[in-house]
Amino acid sequence: MASAPQSSQQQTTGCRPQQIQAAVAKSPDDLEARNELAKAFLERENMMGVFEQTSYILKRSRTMPAR
């Protein structure tokens, strides 16, 4: 069975967490980057990292106006 090409999101999570952490450090309010970082942590079974990133995302999402 042939595998489908990876989406850009899957390719991003394949990056090293340090690269994504650098992007988050550069733009702390970039929730999309934090989400990618949480996914990278999940792949590496870093549950504390996942918790920290998702907690930040949830807190910021509650304070953001609805689109």
**SS3 assignment, position 30:** coil
Spans in the chain with pLDDT lower than 50 = 1-13
pLDDT of residue 6: 42
User: What are the distances in angstroms from CA 34 to CA 11, 19, 26, 30, 53?
Assistant: 15, 12, 11, 6, 6
pLDDT of residue 1: 46
Segments making up each domain of the chain, as ranges: 9-15+27-63
Question: Distance (Å, rounded) from C-alpha 42 to C-alpha 34?
Answer: 12
